[in-house]
Structure 1
Amino acid sequence: MPKYEDDRRRIVARLLAEGWTSKGGKEHENFTKHGHRMIQVPRHRTVTQGVAQSIAKAAGWGKTQGE
């Protein structure tokens, strides 16, 4: 099974570096970018592989770098 980034801090840092804008939120942080659908990142230290895969797909990412 492919390995996707599951560390929330790294996911958020990458989204911000790629031009996504944080719109806040309570249980999930919402990110928007023109021409893309909104991405919700749960406020947990790590996310499950299913959630990580969903975020990666919505952001247009592949697997973890180095694979």
Structure 2
Amino acid sequence: MPPKTFSKTETLRPLLTVKQVAELDQCSEKTVRRAIAAGLLEVSRVGPGGRLVRIDPAAHAAYRARCLW
């Protein structure tokens, strides 16, 4: 699949780290990683070998709406 291209008028949203999501949800990073492993939280893997995990704010909002009360 080719990489997504953005138009000049489209702005990029900053992606969140696991730590930032844990702070927003007031839980541990391990809990966030468990949600990722269970497929409850959609992530993007970046960096060499796809080792770094980043979460789109929209995916985080969808996770919160689905899983948190």
**Does TM, normalized by the shorter one, top 0.5?**
no
TM-score range, shorter chain: 0.3 to 0.5
**Which structure: greater strand fraction?**
1
Structure with greater contact order relative to length (CA < 8 Å, sep ≥ 6): 1
TM-score by length of 2: 0.33
